[in-house]
Amino acid sequence: MSARILVVDDLAPNLHLLEVKLQAEYYDVLTAKSGYQALEIAGKEKLDLILMDAMMPGMNGFEACEKLKQNPETWHIPVIMVTALEETKDRIRGLEAGADDFITKPIDDFNLMARVRSLLRLKMVTDQLLSHTGHTRSNSRPLLERIQQKNGNILLVEDHKLRAEKIAAPLEKNHKVFTEADPVKALRRAKTGVDLIIVSLVSDGFDGLRVCASLRFNEASREIPILVVGDPEDEQRLIRAYDIGINDTLMRPIELQEMQARVSTLLRRKFYADSLRENFNENLEMVVADPLTGLGNRRYFNRAIDPFFGALEDKGEAFSIMVFDIDHFKRVNDILGHDMGDQILKEVATRLVTHMRAVDVVSRYGGEEFMIAMPKTSEDEALIAADRVRSLIAGTPIYVDGQALHITLSAGVAEVDKGEDLRGVFKRADTALYKAKQAGRNRVVSAKSSGKKAA
C-alpha cells in the first residue's frame, strides 16, 4: 500500500464510496463515522492523510480538524475537508481550522486524486525532513512553521492580462510574483531562483503543455513544482499535464481560497525539500548516502531496516523487500554515455521515492540496482506495490537533455521469514529478480510466485 488514509463521514454511502475509490488506487483506507471517532483513530494509528466531511452531528469536521491541528502528535497529518457547502465563508472556516485543502461534493474522481496525491507528497517530504533533522512530531512544529514563513518567488506564465492580474494580485500580498507572457522568457526566468511556477493551459498565444514539458526537460527547473490552470471540461489535457510531471491543477473559474490552498501546499513542499537537501548535505550521515541519487546506500539500508527485523521477531509484524534493476542499463551507458546513464539513475531514484510510502526505506544498493524495504507489508501487498511502480515508470518516458527515453525495470519481491537474516531474504528476492529478467524483463516476480507480466 502506498499510504494510509482515514475517511471520516457520518453517512455510510458516502463513506463506502470514498473507500472504494481510494482502495482502487491501492491506498490503505480506514474509516470513521464521527469527529470523535476520527480523533481516537488518529491518536492510535499512523496516518498519512485524512479526508474529513465538514458537516457531521456531534462534533463537525471543522471542530475535529481544529483539535487534530492542536494536538502535537497529530497536527502534521494533512487534512482535506470534504463539503457540500459552496459559500466562501465556509471554505475560509475550513482553512482557519487548519485544513490543508478541500473538495466539494459531488466529488469528481480526477480532482479527488489530484488533491490526495499532492498532499501525500507533502506528507512524505515532511516525514523525510523530520527524520533527517532528528525532530519528533511533537517538537518539530517550530522548525516547520519557521520554514513555512518564508516568502516564495512565483513565476506566472500567462499572456492574458486580466487573467494574470486575477491570479497575481492576491498572491503578491505574501509572495513575489513574476508574470511572463512569452514562454521563452519564462523558461529563462525559471532558472533564477523560482519556488513555484503557475502555467496557463487556456492561453491562445502558447501551448501550456509544451511549456510544462520544457520546464521538466530542463535540469535547472526540473524540481520546481508546477501548478497548471485549466478548464474542468478539458480533462484529457489535464491528465496529459500530470503525465508530463506537473504537481497540481487549479480549475477555472478560479476561487481565491482554493488557489491559496494549492499554492501554500506546493510552496511548503518546496521549502521542506530545500531544507531537507541543505540538512542532508551538512549532516554527517552523508557517509551512508549515495552521492549521485541522494538515496541511502547499502550501508544505510542495512542499518535502517534493523528495527523491522526486531518488530518481526517481537510482534510478528511482516515486512518485505524489493530488489529493482534497470533493464539493459549497460547498453544505455554504452550507447548514450555515462553522463546520460547518471541522469537516468537520478530520475529513477526520484520516481521510486515519490511512489513509495514515507515509512519505506529506499536505497541505491549498487550500480543500477535499488533496494526497498516495506514495513508491515506482506509479500502479496509488496508485489502489488512493486508492479504499480514498475508500470508507472515504464509508462512515462524519462526526459534527458530533451530526449524521451523509455526505461523499464524488473524486480524481485520477498517477504522476510522469522529467523531469516538480510542475506537470506536478499538472495531469495535476487533470485526472483533473475527470473524476471529471464522471463523477458519489465516485470515483477515474487519469491513464491511466477510473477506478473507487463501490460
Q: Where in the sequence numbering do the catalytic residues fall? A: 368
Residues 6+ apart with CB under 8 A from 388: 2, 26, 355
C-alpha cell at 282: 551538512
Within 10 angstroms of residue 96's Cβ, the number of other Cβ atoms is: 11
Shortest CA distance to 39 belongs to which of 75, 3, 92, 2? 75
Q: Which helix (H) or strand (E) holds 248?
A: strand 248-251
Phi and psi angles of residue 194, each rounded to the nearest 5 degrees, phi first = -90, 140
Shortest CA distance to 79 belongs to which of 43, 104, 115, 114? 115
- Three-state secondary structure readout of 25-79: CCCEEEEECCHHHHHHHHHHCCCCEEEEECCCCCCCHHHHHHHHHHCCCCCCCCE
Q: How far is CA 163 from CA 51, 201, 249, 420, in A?
A: 31, 12, 16, 61
Within 10 angstroms of residue 345's Cβ, the number of other Cβ atoms is: 22
